[in-house]
Structure 1
Amino acid sequence: MIRPARPEDEAAIRLCARAAYRHYVAAIGREPAPMVADFATQIAAGQVHVAETGDALTGFIVFFPRAGQMFLENVAVDPSAAGQGIGKALIGFCEAEARRLKLPAVALYTNEKMVANLTIYPKMGYRETGRRQEDGFHRVFFEKPLR
């Protein structure tokens, strides 16, 4: 089940982010941006949705309209729930919300050191639109036009 995040979800969201991204710290040389996000502010703004399996938070996604498209800022799945299609479902939910709002595309970025993402996103219909350094991170940008 995917639902809007509530303030009481913040601690579980933060734990999920830490678990999902901690193995990238050594490759990137510091904690990736999703590990230090201001989840309280994002939850209050209605930008965070969570996936639950039973009573457990198994993943989350952060997205919002920006510059005429949906910007997918963060998606994470707890490693204990990996491989169950939760990430794909969360991204599909984001895309459905973009369509509902009549936005033409979903945009996102990932860190170039998160090499698995560089093959996952194209398989989901995203195309690379650029690479640049931002906030001290080497980012790869993707976009998916929606029909």
Structure 2
Amino acid sequence: MKDLKRAVAADRERVEEFQHAAYARTEAVIDGPAIPLAWDYGEIMRECEVWLDERDGILAGVLILRPREQDLFLESIATNPAKSGLGIGAALMQATLDRARSLGLEAIALITNSRNPAAKWYRNVGFTVDFEEVQENRKVLHMSLKMKGTPGDTKGDDDDGTA
């Protein structure tokens, strides 16, 4: 995970504060609570891989991944609002792709609110909607990305894998 640092238990408060600041933009757009803000971050820190992107001493991004038997679940990809437009999200997504490959996993999965502007970005990266789940006050998109060049890949590997 080039240029990323694995978070430790002592980073919990910092990660949680960062997530709240980063997801404030999403909550304003979707007019409701962002899924990651309801989490128990003690549990997240124990059960997931939490990666920090620090630039010039400032936390620029947080990536939360959950390796599963069938895929790598992208729990959260969040960027510092003050660092918007600098390619941090793209770098975190590339780190996600690299991590899935290093684990030998064939897919990356995620969920997002259908009103989240990031849903369009996920589609542009190559994620497709597997199904939609209607919940109270929101529609959750269950999305996945088939990794290129993995066993069972029918698309070939002519893409360079960049997002």
Q: Give the 5 Å matches for 1:52-131.
A: 52-114=54-116, 116-131=117-132
| Alignment length (residue pairs) | 146
Mapped partners of 1:137, 1:47: distance in 2: 27
Q: Secondary structure at the match of 1:133?
A: strand
Q: Structure 2: which 5+ runs fail to align?
A: 149-163
Mapped partners of 1:72, 1:81: distance in 2: 21
| Paired residues of 1:4 and 1:46 also in contact (CA < 8 A) | no
**Cα 1:80–1:16 shift into 2, 3 Å:** same
Q: 9-18 or 26-35, which moves further after superposition?
A: 26-35
**Cα 1:135–1:63 shift into 2, 3 Å:** farther
**Cα 1:25–1:122 shift into 2, 3 Å:** closer
The amino acid that maps onto 1:121 is Y
**Residue of structure 1 in register with 2:40 after alignment:** 38
The amino acid that maps onto 1:124 is V
| Paired residues of 2:19 and 2:37 also in contact (CA < 8 A) | yes
Mapped partners of 2:24, 2:85: distance in 1: 18
| Paired residues of 1:5 and 1:46 also in contact (CA < 8 A) | no
Q: Structure 1: which 5+ runs fail to align?
A: none
Listed one character per residue, the Cα deviations across residues 46-94 of structure 1 (whole Å, up to 9, x for unaligned) are: 4211111122111111111225111101111110111111111112111
Q: Structure 1 or 2: larger strand share?
A: 1
**Residue of structure 2 in register with 1:22 after alignment:** 24
| Paired residues of 2:48 and 2:67 also in contact (CA < 8 A) | no
TM-score of the two chains, using structure 1 as the length reference? 0.88
Q: Secondary structure at the match of 1:21?
A: helix
Give the alignment's Cα RMSD to 1 decimal. Answer: 1.9
Mapped partners of 1:4, 1:29: distance in 2: 32
How far did 1:29 drift?
4.7
Listed one character per residue, the Cα deviations across residues 96-141 of structure 1 (whole Å, up to 9, x for unaligned) are: 1111111101011110121x22210111111121111357642112
Mapped partners of 1:135, 1:94: distance in 2: 30
Percent of pairs with identical residues: 25
